Amino acid sequence: MDDGKDDDDMDAVLNKTPDDAGKRKGKGSANKSLITRNLRLAYGEVTSEGVPDRFLDILNRMDESEGKS
């Protein structure tokens, strides 16, 4: 199905003006800020979680086996 959207996208690429660059930069900056904010939120949530007991058990067993070697 051809809805002409690809042609519109190509026209937008070929017919850029200097003003378009400023708009893209503003959008890019806003997107970067949003991505940075979301990464910090996600990372903060992960770092505040405790280590699951099963992982601690595995680490302890590894330490014990290395101590015996």
Model confidence at 34, pLDDT cuts 50, 70, 90, reads very high
pTM above 0.85, yes or no: no
CA distance 20 to 28: 12
CA 50 to chain centre: 23
Mean pLDDT of the chain: 76
Domain that holds residue 28: 5-68
Token pair listed for 29: 């900056």
Sign of CA dihedral 18, 24, 27, 29: negative
CA distance 34 to 30: 6
CA distances from 18 to 13, 15, 28, 50 (A): 12, 10, 15, 51
Structural domains counted in the chain: 1
